[in-house]
Amino acid sequence: MRILRAEGRTAAPWSNGGGVTREVAVHPPGAGWDTFAWRVSLADVTRDGPYSPLPGVRRILTVVDGAGLELTVDGATRLLPDRCRPFAFPGGADTGSRLLGGPVVNLNVMLREGWADAAVEMVRGRRVVEPVRRPAGGADGPEAVLVVAVEGPARLRTGGRPAARLARFDAALLAGPDAAPAELRTDGTAAVIALSAADPARPAG
């Protein structure tokens, strides 16, 4: 289990000036926009505006702070007035957003089509987080679970070790063949993101 603290994350401004994004984790490690298989980030959205098109990328967006968003995806309007409700849509779609009541923070999961997949679950209270295991004979590539404390602090314990404490927006990455189940306890809400990726050396398709 690797702890990824919110403190010190670099804020990268959006090209349209509508907010900033902070990367939580990416695969392969250090990958850029053109080479990631999956990417998880937190974005501060401060004004209405369009989203940058990302052809070949599937997005899962979850509002984790603020009054919510109205998204327009290829002409279809979707209200996201409640926090902690994941919404998936194609990154290549013509997408714009309108703030419903001031700035918001979004948890963004981006998945390169043909390279990666993910499931996002919002957890309250207690939960045992099982590492993702690739079935025998499955494709090569890493499996991982990323836990992000999005409303209030959380604690994660593996085996008999002391619990790791996560402040708000801290994260923990459980990955590798020896990853053990972890007991998650939250005082609010945590996002549990199960991630899988194919061999990053293969071409996208």
Amino acid at 13: P
Tally DSSP H helices, then E strands, for the chain.
0, 19
Domain edge (last residue) among 62, 80, 112: 112
Closest Cα partner for 106 from 59, 144, 145, 173?
Answer: 59
Residue 59 CB neighbour total at 10 angstroms: 21
Q: What is the pLDDT of residue 134?
A: 59
Bridge partner list, 72: 77, 96
- Which residues form the domain of 83? 7-112
Distances from the Cα of 161 to the Cαs of 32, 91, 155, 168, 183, in angstroms? 34, 40, 12, 22, 11
Query: Mapping DSSP to helix (H, G, I), strand (E, B) and coil, where does residue 30 land?
Result: coil
Q: What is the pLDDT of residue 143?
A: 87
In this structure, are residues 63 and 106 in contact, taking their beta carbons and an 8 Å threshold?
yes
Domain edge (last residue) among 112, 143, 169: 112
Both 97 and 134 in a single domain? no
pLDDT per position as a tens digit, 160-180 = 789 999 999 999 999 877 788
Both 175 and 136 in a single domain? yes
Both 191 and 123 in a single domain? yes
Both 120 and 140 in a single domain? yes
* Residue 78 located in a structural domain: yes
* Residue 2 located in a structural domain: no
Distance CA 158, CA 204 (A): 35
Distance CA 69, CA 72 (A): 10
User: What's the whole-model pTM score?
Assistant: 0.91
* Residue 148 located in a structural domain: yes
> Are β-strands 49-50 and 38-45 bridged in parallel, bridged antiparallel, or unpaired?
unpaired
pLDDT per position as a tens digit, 98-151 = 999 999 999 999 999 999 999 999 999 999 998 876 554 444 556 899 999 999
Does residue 81 or residue 17 have the better pLDDT? 81
Total domains, the chain: 2
Q: What are phi and psi of 40, to 5 degrees?
A: -120, 130
Both 106 and 14 in a single domain? yes
